[in-house]
Structure 1
């Protein structure tokens, strides 16, 4: 049996590397994962073959030299062409081969996304249940408070005293609006066929009015994407919330926001597999999102900014869910990408 042919049939990327992290062998799956031909793979050191990998190269070097194994689960990998993957990394020393180890990179993107989405949906539904009950308890006395202030205002003769009742009414309205934002859309609205690029263009027109001079907007559309069944106002709100976050991330140092649309085939959303989906990506080259926020990014009231409300991404996630889709986020310094994935009929 041809061992090389056998390794080329694996879906796991396999390398043989030395203690200088130079590949001596790479199978076909390694070429496909990194998007580089085998000849070029063998001409460069491993750290030169990707932008980022979630294990330190010095740790790999030391482990190969010491003949020790390593296992890292669900680590990030960003290829040279900017594609993000989640991978399991296994380094195994090769017996009778000094300073050579077998490195396996197994893609777990799909499993990670499914687990992350199911967990996020469960947490989101629990949070919304809590918020709905809390909103009910707040809005009832709030309505009474506002009504009482209005009645009191009518009885007062002095304009100076009416300033206080006006203040009570204003703050009651502000609290009611905050509660309504917390709740967000709760059920599917009337959907009709619209073009996603028209929705995105409306968002960019709004953003362009207040866009700082040091930030540029770029578009990379797939014009072949068909019209889709949607609520255009809701999707516009979801995209606007994400683009505004990207603008705020770039406002101090400047940069670029790229809006990209593509179609993808055979994609699982939740537990349902779709033949064709829309992938709408909002990408910025800002400082990235703190790692400690990534797992709770779409929860209500979670924000990395002092003046942030933490509602924008929660509302965007809920809108995507009401359209049968999902939102994914990958982030590292210099590259943050939110992708709204929606089924196409």
Structure 2
């Protein structure tokens, strides 16, 4: 039995169900007794390791600098007893309804226009992260949360116009400050192997171009329904040092140029995230300038009855529906490929 269930952290956050779990943290649905709202609480295990404590504090510092509708919002953070003998660090964030992009891709690839709209929102959000001198370093479908309206599941994709972002980026647990300050243990390379950049695969420094490469792989997967690199951790890490992601011949030339620009093996040859956002806006039918695209509903190019998600960019958040997913997936949850440098 989970000892944290029912515990009230700092007299305010009542711990309820587990919504995500990994080797480095557990994420709970919780209720804020002061404001009367449900939140996500990321609870780290107690540790005597000072490096781990510093890493927890660094994640809080990263989140505190972020402010964008496409990023999961930080509400609070602290340290408290959670049913055990030692205090534990916790982070309180917004609770985001809807599935992950990984869940949606399990139903099949997305239409190019819908991929462009998702990609543009992500690129604009990540550009904000980069402007704060932070690199996410773990862009992947499982860390991308889809905001879903209760009625969207049964609606015709062209039926209604609504407002609100369709995606939110989560999990800054292995982020890195662009000034070189590490949030991870010395001598390790963290990130999901499938989406590692060439520089991450070699243990070299990660910069904003690292996130551009990973987002390029995510967009390619959205279009094709297949991961660009598969195999063992060592195989997928080694492959990108000598191989460019395969772009099918039937991909639109504009998309092919964008994807090549995002996944160039040399970081300096890649597009910036701002440039990627502008091109994605144009591919999605907008002008490429922020806030100019028209609202539609997102429907995956998969089986009938697959989830439909609201892709609009601004305005009120949609009403929650279904089982919520936390805005902060626990570091290491649904994640593979964290490996020692040189593995």
Question: Which has the larger share of strand?
Answer: 1
TM-score strictly above 0.5: no
Band the TM-score falls in, shorter-chain normalisation: under 0.3
Structure number with higher relative contact order (C-alpha < 8 Å, ≥ 6 residues apart) = 2
Determine which structure has the larger helix proportion and give its number: 1
TM-score by length of 1: 0.24
Larger Rg: 1
